[in-house]
Amino acid sequence: MMNPVESMQPPLAECIICHKPKLYGIHICGQMICLDCERAIVHADVEDEAYAYYVEEMKRIWLSALSL
Ligand SMILES: [Zn+2]
């Protein structure tokens, strides 16, 4: 049986980009990227400093997924 309290409070997952606990996000390889960061990545310019940061973070996910 489901616990009604638990079903009302889904566990927060930590976003691997901004490291903030978020309710919703995209799950990739067991990691979570929150919607804010996902949007930021999509709209980031390749010239942008933030873009390089996001790419590095994404690489970290792929690498940790591969090493499982
Ligand atoms: Zn985030």
pLDDT of residue 11: 75
35-55 pLDDT per residue, tens: 998 888 888 887 888 888 888
C-alpha dihedral (56, 20, 32, 34), degrees to nearest 10: -90
How far apart CA 17 and CA 32 sit, in angstroms, is 9
Residues around ion ligand 1, judged by CB within 5 A, are 15, 17-18, 34, 37
Distance from the alpha carbon of residue 24 to the mean position of ligand 1, in angstroms: 10
- Domains in the chain: how many in total? 1
Among 44, 23, 4, smallest CA distance to 57 is for 44
Supply the pLDDT for residue 3.
Answer: 58
Write out the residue range of the structural domain in which residue 28 sits.
4-66
pLDDT tens-digit profile of 2-36?
555 555 666 789 998 899 999 889 887 788 889 99
